[in-house]
Structure 1
C-alpha cells in the first residue's frame, strides 16, 4: 500500500450554517444575514479549493477542506506527523471557528497560525485592547457599554467617540453614526447594537488618519516583520461600515459586482508616502510576534496620521485570505497567487 502523503487540512465555517443557526437562536433574518456575512471568506475561497488542491499536489501534498461541523470526526483520525491544520474562519460568539485550533491541539495536530488562546482574545476587542496596552502598544483607550449602560466608562474625549461591537467580526464600525460626538450618543448606539446583535460595544476616542492594513504570511517559516505588507486602504470613506463590507465579500459582494456597485478600495504602500510610519508599524508587528505570539498568518488594522502617528486598532488571526488586499500582498511580497502561497506555506512546514 502506498504511503499517505502529508496533508493540509483547511477548516472553515460556511455562511449558511451560521445564518441558519442564528435564525434558530431568534435573530431576525436581516441581522442573521449581516452577522453571517463576516464569514464571507469561506464563500469566496470555496471556488478555489480545486486550485489549492492542485497547488498542493504539485508540491507533494494532499489537500482537504472540511466544514467546521465535520472537523472533529475528520481530525481525530489524522496522522500527527503528516497533517497540518489551517483555520480559515475564527469566532467565539456568533461564529465558532475558534474551535478548530482547539480541536487540533486536542488531537495533537500542528497548525498554521497562532494558538487557540489568541483566537479567543482577538475576537474580544475590549480584552485584547487591554492586553495590547499592557504590551506598550499605541492602542486607543477604551470603554465598554452594554445595552445603553456603561460597564467601564471612558474619559471625556475632545475628538469625539468611535463605537464598535465588541465581538462581532473584525470591522471597525456598523453604521455611519458609529463616529459620534458625546457619551450619550455612544450609549444610544450601544443600545442599538445590543438590540440588533446582542453584543456589548467598545467606545474609543475617535482617532484621525488614514486606514492601513498590514498583512503577513510566513511562506518562509523564518520570515519576520520584514515580510509584512503595509498599505493604505482608501475606500472613499473614513471607516468601513457594515454596508461597505457586504458590498465587497461573499454572496452580497457577488451581487454588488453584478449590479455594478462593487469597487475595490485603492491600495497604496505606506512606505512610498510615509516611510517613518511604515517603520513604526513593522516594529509594532515585531512586538506582537515576540510578546503576543502572532505567527504564520495575521493582519493588523491601523490608523496613520499625517505626522506619522500610528494607532493600532486591532489584530486578526484569520485575515481574509481571498480578499483583494491579501491577494495583492501575496503577489507583491512572495510573487505568488493565493493558492500557490497557501500550498507553499504548508509544504515548507510539512516537507522540511
Structure 2
C-alpha cells in the first residue's frame, strides 16, 4: 500500500501563456488578449491557492497547482493510488486544458469531472448540439458557416438567428449585432469572426426567454441532481458580448472594479417564480448525467420562456469556479466557500 499522502492536483492554463502562444501563432495582440481572457478563472483563482492548500490540509490532503506546460511530467510521476486530478481550464483549439484529463487517464489517475471525450465535445458547439439533439434534449438546431460560406445551412426562423463562435469556448455573441434578422448578416458575421479568431460560427434560431445558469458540484460521489443550483442570471441585456465578458473576469474585471464599472448580474432562483421550469431543467440535467456522462462538476446554460418552455444552450465540463455565480452556488447549496467546497469534494473521492 502506498505511504504517500493523498494529493489533489489542480491543472490550469494561465492567460499569459495562452496569450504568448497565440501571438507567436500570428494572432493580433488585441485578439489574442480577448481569446486568452476566457482563461480568467486561472487568474482569479490563483490568489486563493494558499487557501485551497489550507482547506485540503485540514482534510488530510496535499495540494499542488500545476500549470499546463508542466503537467505531463507531474502526472507521469504521480501515484495512482493517492492522486486526484482536477482540470480547471478546458480547451481543444485555442486552449489546451482538455489534454489534462487525457494525460491523467494515460497514467491511470483518478479525475474530478467528466471523461476526456466530453472535454473535446463541449468545446465544439456544432457537434455537441448534434449530440444533445440525438439525446432528445431541447437544444436549438444549428447551421455552421466558415468565412462567409455555409457548411450547413441553418433552419428557418421567424424570430431571426443568433450567431456565435463554434470553438471559442463561449455561448456569447462576440458583438452587439450577434442577433440577426437575415442570413446575409449571419454570413457577414462569420467573415468577421474568421478574420479575427479563425473560427467557424454556429447559427441557431433565436430563442426568447431569460438566461439561466444551472451549476453542479458533487460534494460526495453519491450527490445527485437534487444538488443542482438553478438561477436566473439577470444582467439587463438579452445576451452577453465579448465586452461584457471581459468586464467580469480576470485582469480586465479587476480594472473594471477599480474604475467602479464592475456590476455582477443578479441571481434569482428559478424555482421561486417558475417551479415547472426548474423541474424541467432538473430532468434535463439528469439526462445529461445518465446519457452524456456529466459528473462531479459542471454547468448548463439555458433560456427559459414565461410559459416554462426551456431551451438548452450548452453545457460546460469546466465551469468558472471562481466566478460570482459558482461561488454563490457553493454558499447557497453547501454553505461553504469555494476553497472548502473544492477541498471537501476532493477529500470525499480520496478517503479510503
TM-score (norm 1): 0.99
Matches within 5 A, 1:6-155: 6-155=6-155
Report what 2:310 is aligned to. 310
1:168 equivalent to 2:164? Answer no
Asked if the contact 1:221/1:348 (under 8 Å) is kept, the reply is yes
Deviation per residue, 1:101-144 (Å, 9 max, x gap): 00000100000000000000000000000000000000001000
Give the Cα–Cα distance (whole angstroms) in 1 for the partners of residues 155 and 271 of structure 2.
Answer: 34
**Displacement after TM superposition at 1:171 (Å):** 2.9
Matches within 5 A, 1:220-239: 220-239=220-239
Give the Cα–Cα distance (whole angstroms) in 1 for the partners of residues 281 and 140 of structure 2.
Answer: 15
Asked if the contact 1:167/1:199 (under 8 Å) is kept, the reply is yes
Structure 1 window deviating more from structure 2 (33-42 vs 147-156): it is 147-156
Report what 2:276 is aligned to. 276
**Displacement after TM superposition at 1:154 (Å):** 1.1
Asked if the contact 1:170/1:316 (under 8 Å) is kept, the reply is no
Give the Cα–Cα distance (whole angstroms) in 1 for the partners of residues 30 and 204 of structure 2.
Answer: 27
Give the Cα–Cα distance (whole angstroms) in 1 for the partners of residues 123 and 66 of structure 2.
Answer: 22
Moved over 3 A (4+): none
**Displacement after TM superposition at 1:180 (Å):** 0.6
Asked if the contact 2:7/2:83 (under 8 Å) is kept, the reply is yes
Deviation per residue, 1:17-44 (Å, 9 max, x gap): 0000000000001100000000000000
Asked if the contact 2:217/2:296 (under 8 Å) is kept, the reply is yes
Give the Cα–Cα distance (whole angstroms) in 2 for the partners of residues 247 and 169 of structure 1.
Answer: 17
Asked if the contact 2:171/2:314 (under 8 Å) is kept, the reply is no
2:77 partner SS:
coil
Matches within 5 A, 1:314-325: 314-325=314-325
Asked if the contact 2:160/2:180 (under 8 Å) is kept, the reply is yes
Report what 1:343 is aligned to. 343
**Displacement after TM superposition at 1:169 (Å):** 1.7
**Displacement after TM superposition at 1:155 (Å):** 2.3
Asked if the contact 2:9/2:83 (under 8 Å) is kept, the reply is yes
Give the Cα–Cα distance (whole angstroms) in 2 for the partners of residues 302 and 123 of structure 1.
Answer: 17
**Displacement after TM superposition at 1:221 (Å):** 1.2
Report what 2:201 is aligned to. 201
Asked if the contact 2:207/2:303 (under 8 Å) is kept, the reply is yes
**Displacement after TM superposition at 1:170 (Å):** 2.0
1:60 partner SS:
coil
Give the Cα–Cα distance (whole angstroms) in 1 for the partners of residues 4 and 57 of structure 2.
Answer: 12
Q: Unaligned 5+ residue runs, structure 2?
A: none
TM-score (norm 2): 0.99
Report what 1:189 is aligned to. 189
**Displacement after TM superposition at 1:160 (Å):** 0.4
2:17 partner SS:
helix
Deviation per residue, 1:234-288 (Å, 9 max, x gap): 0110001100000000000000100111000000000001000000000000000
Report what 1:258 is aligned to. 258
2:163 partner SS:
strand
**Displacement after TM superposition at 1:345 (Å):** 0.2
1:39 partner SS:
helix
**Displacement after TM superposition at 1:224 (Å):** 1.0
1:156 partner SS:
coil
Report what 1:210 is aligned to. 210
Asked if the contact 2:172/2:242 (under 8 Å) is kept, the reply is no
Give the Cα–Cα distance (whole angstroms) in 1 for the partners of residues 90 and 50 of structure 2.
Answer: 22
Asked if the contact 2:253/2:262 (under 8 Å) is kept, the reply is yes
Give the Cα–Cα distance (whole angstroms) in 1 for the partners of residues 146 and 77 of structure 2.
Answer: 43
Give the Cα–Cα distance (whole angstroms) in 1 for the partners of residues 293 and 3 of structure 2.
Answer: 34
Give the Cα–Cα distance (whole angstroms) in 2 for the partners of residues 261 and 73 of structure 1.
Answer: 42
Give the Cα–Cα distance (whole angstroms) in 2 for the partners of residues 214 and 143 of structure 1.
Answer: 25
Asked if the contact 2:145/2:202 (under 8 Å) is kept, the reply is yes
